[in-house]
Amino acid sequence: VMGPTGSGKSTFINSFVPSGSSSGIRVGHSLQSETSKVQPIELDFGNGIRLRLVDTPGFDDSREGITDFEVLSMIATFLETHSTLAGLIYMHRISDTRMGGTARRNLRMFHKLCGQDSLKNVVIVTTMWDKATPEDGERRERELISSETLFKPLLGEGAVMCRHDGTRASALGIIDYLLRIQDHANTQIVHELLYEQKTLEETAAGTEIQAELSAILQKHTADIKSLEEELRSETAASTKDEIAVQKRELELSVDKLNKQIEDLKRRSGTFETKWVKDLCILHSS
């Protein structure tokens, strides 16, 4: 289950957990991202169907403590070691008035990670219908479906889109759809890593992260230059101080970006699987 922070991934997974037991999956209560690990839980439906649902952190460059590349490493490692993936669920909040930068970034990463072949195993799930009026929700849904820069390219290659109303029945319907698909999902990232022997940074998704980091780096470097020029021409001491503070913030950000790019090169291809939390086995009636 993938998608931006706060799109309802953990809530969706927890809707399968019988009341009284705990999945260990936490649902967020703030704007901060809550999930920071790829976390599988196993459900036993008691009729021969055992299902593993995997919670993932969204891509979110503002989050402290874990970089997008680490998120990608975790997801890639999981996919690499689990070849019988039935499908991928991508969650999107219909209540968002516009598709912001982070939402677009998550969608781009998701698309690069899936490639084309696995899109028939993809369900795009819109959530938070209760937080939008029916008219607004429907209008936004039409836009998401018809826009070339939003979900249209995925829908054109076999992905489907559906509404989730937060109930267990609706969540079950989504899982049921995925379980009926004959073929397992062959994601592009696994193909690149296993068959094309690429390092993680060379994959389409890895390249996307690098390109984004480089673009932000370039912008920050240009901004620092123009602040330096402003500093030279500015005479008022208080304004000079303000500019200096802004410049310092950007310099810190540049240091962080450079470190991330270095990390990415150093660690690519050597990531390990120890992050996978112990499976939490739950029995659901």
Least gap, CB of 155 to ligand GTP (angstroms): 21
HSE value, Cβ hemisphere, 13 Å, CA-based, for 102: 19
Minimum CB distance to ligand GTP smaller for 59 or for 193? 59
Q: Which does 23 bind (CB under 5 to 8 A by kind): ligand GTP, Mg ion, none?
A: none
Q: Is 73 in the site for Mg ion (CB under 5 A)?
A: no
Q: Is 39 in the site for ligand GTP (CB under 6 A)?
A: no
Q: Which does 209 bind (CB under 5 to 8 A by kind): Mg ion, ligand GTP, none?
A: none
Length of the chain counted residue by residue: 285
Q: Is 73 in the site for ligand GTP (CB under 6 A)?
A: no
Applying CB under 6 A, the span of 21-29, 39-47, 102-110, 193-201 interacting with ligand GTP comes to 21-29
Q: Is 29 in the site for ligand GTP (CB under 6 A)?
A: yes
Report residue 39 CA to chain centroid gap.
Answer: 14
Write the interaction track for ligand GTP spanning residues 110-149; mark x where CB under 6 A is met and - where it is not: -----------------xx-xx------------------
- Angle formed by the axes of helices 101-114 and 68-81, nearest 10°: 30
**Cα angle for residues 12, 18, 21 (degrees, 5° grid):** 105
Q: Which does 126 bind (CB under 5 to 8 A by kind): Mg ion, ligand GTP, none?
A: none
Q: Is 118 in the site for Mg ion (CB under 5 A)?
A: no
Q: Which does 57 bind (CB under 5 to 8 A by kind): Mg ion, ligand GTP, none?
A: ligand GTP
Q: Is 35 in the site for Mg ion (CB under 5 A)?
A: yes
Q: Is 7 in the site for Mg ion (CB under 5 A)?
A: no
Minimum CB distance to ligand GTP smaller for 136 or for 241? 136
- CA distances to 53, 147, 154 from 114, rounded to whole Å, are 17, 19, 10
Least gap, CB of 68 to ligand GTP (angstroms): 13
Q: Is 10 in the site for Mg ion (CB under 5 A)?
A: yes
Least gap, CB of 256 to ligand GTP (angstroms): 21
Minimum CB distance to ligand GTP smaller for 11 or for 67? 11
Q: Is 203 in the site for ligand GTP (CB under 6 A)?
A: no
| Contact residues for Mg ion, defined by CB under 5 A | 9-10, 34-35
| Contact residues for ligand GTP, defined by CB under 6 A | 3, 5-11, 27-29, 33-35, 57-58, 127-128, 130-131, 166
